[in-house]
Amino acid sequence: MRKLLWLGCLSYLVIGLAHVVGGAVLEQMMMKYGLSYKDGGQWIMNQFLGFLVGVLLAPTITSKAGKRGGVLIAIGILTISEAAYSLLPSWGLMLAIAPLAGFGFGMTEAVVGAMVIDMAAQDGKASAMSKVETFFGVGAFLMPTMAGLLIKYDIWQLSFPILSALSGITFILWLTMSFGPLDDRIGFHARVSAETAAGPQGKASVSSGLLGYQPKAFGFIVLAALFFMVYVGMEMSFSNYLPSILIERSDIAAGSAPAALSLFWGMMIVGRLFAGRLADRAGYARYLLVATAGAVCVFIGLGAAGSLNVMLVLIGLSGLFFSGIFGIALVYATEKTPSMTERTTSLLVAFGGLGGAFFPRVTGWLMDRYGAGSTLWMISGSIVLMLALLLLMLMQGRRQLAGRGVKSEA
């Protein structure tokens, strides 16, 4: 499991880079192609539409090609797409390549995340998921830092070939590395998932209910899907437009603005080093509630802040509060839908991709029409909505436990 976990960490590092490369060089892309924020939002949206397709197709592809085969397909497509970006073709071709890039990092995230949750020890799922999420944060931290340096020397376009090279190295490692006893579970040949082949007693069963979920669980999974859609959409909007927001609201230089994005992801990394342990000790529900409520307070402060220094402090705090939300919420949701780990993971990551596709598009329109101040208030409102969805989700999860006669974690 250790080798698989560390290769999963490397894969999440790569998709962390891929998630934020667009935002890190968005201002330069807009200048090169003569774009508006709305046009830039379309590029990001296209990537996340591909992300959505990749996540939704992940269970089908892995059922035919195996989990390792699925990861190889995904990372191979990502590598080729980033190499194509490196050529800086016409804007129409950039928009056409974007769904392929999104497909690659979306499917990689879904398959690797499901493997980590499924194969980690029961009492260490949150810690394992936090570890790979930490490396996602490392990638998202390094890309703006690297992009800022490349922008300074006017070679920002090298961001794409560097990402393509790292993705290619990850592809080779997935292709050649042996995982010992786990090879049979993640091999290239098709395997029927234990989740769909066997019921709780290990006997073959036929899924009942919509999407295979029992009626009592369906309300919970709908709320969880909406929560992930709002969270990822808000996070992608904030991270992709943060340098542009700071440039508009302060006198920060264009080459220095991506450093604020590195501050955001740097605090994400710090938080993720402890998020899993905190969640395991305090309980997933309590951790999510405190983190989301803290994020609401921070973003209301960001909307009202006028000083660059105050904004930088709040940006750091936002990364700290956001650090464990995605990973811990994913573990919490899979725990509440036993024997459905792969399907639940794919569904929730898919809805996250849906949010990641449409929210940045709306955010780009807001930036063009109303400016950075209104955009920040929209993001703040999204986090308030996210808190409301979380409260409903936790209440539904508690009802499910009560229905099964299990004591809630509170």
Q: Where are the beta strands (DSSP E) in 246-317?
A: none
CA atoms of 170 and 375, how far apart (whole Å):
36
Q: Is residue 409 part of a domain?
A: no
Euclidean distance between CA atoms 12 and 5, whole angstroms: 10
Name the band, by pLDDT with cuts 50, 70 and 90, for residue 196.
very low
Q: What percent of the chain has pLDDT over 90?
A: 32
Does residue 322 lie within any of the structural domains? yes
In which band, very low, low, confident or very high, does the pLDDT at 137 lie, cut at 50, 70 and 90? confident
In the chain, how many domains are there? 1
pLDDT digits 0-9 by tens, 356-398: 778 887 888 888 888 888 888 988 999 999 999 999 999 988 8
Statement: residue 199 has pLDDT above 50: no
For the residues 243-255, what does the mean pLDDT come to? 77
Closest by CA to 49, choosing from 92, 95, 102, 111, is 102
Task: Say whether 12 sits in a helix, a strand or coil.
Answer: helix
Decide: 50 and 103 in contact? Cβ < 8 Å: yes
- Tokens 């936090």 correspond to 130
- Work out the mean pLDDT of the chain and round it to a whole number: 83
Whole-angstrom distance, CA of residue 218 vs CA of residue 233: 22
CA angle 269, 161, 69 (to 5 degrees): 75
**pTM, rounded to two decimals:** 0.74
The DSSP result for 38-64, as a single string, is HHHHHHHHHHHHHHHHHHHHHHHHHHH
Residue 408 lies in a domain: no
Within-domain flag for 26:
yes
Answer whether residue 370 is part of any domain. yes
Would 410 be classed as within a structural domain?
Answer: no
Give me the pLDDT at residue 249, please.
Answer: 80
Question: Tens of pLDDT along 91-118?
Answer: 999 999 999 999 999 899 888 988 887 7
Q: Which domain holds residue 246?
A: 2-198+207-402
CA distance 223 to 212: 16
Asked if residue 70 belongs to a domain, the reply is yes
- CA gap 251, 372 in Å, rounded: 14
CATH number for 84: 1.20.1250.20
Chain position carrying tokens 């290619």: 168
Mean pLDDT of 223-243: 88
- Residue ranges of alpha helices (H) inside 25-36 are 26-33
The answer to whether residue 13 is domain-embedded is yes
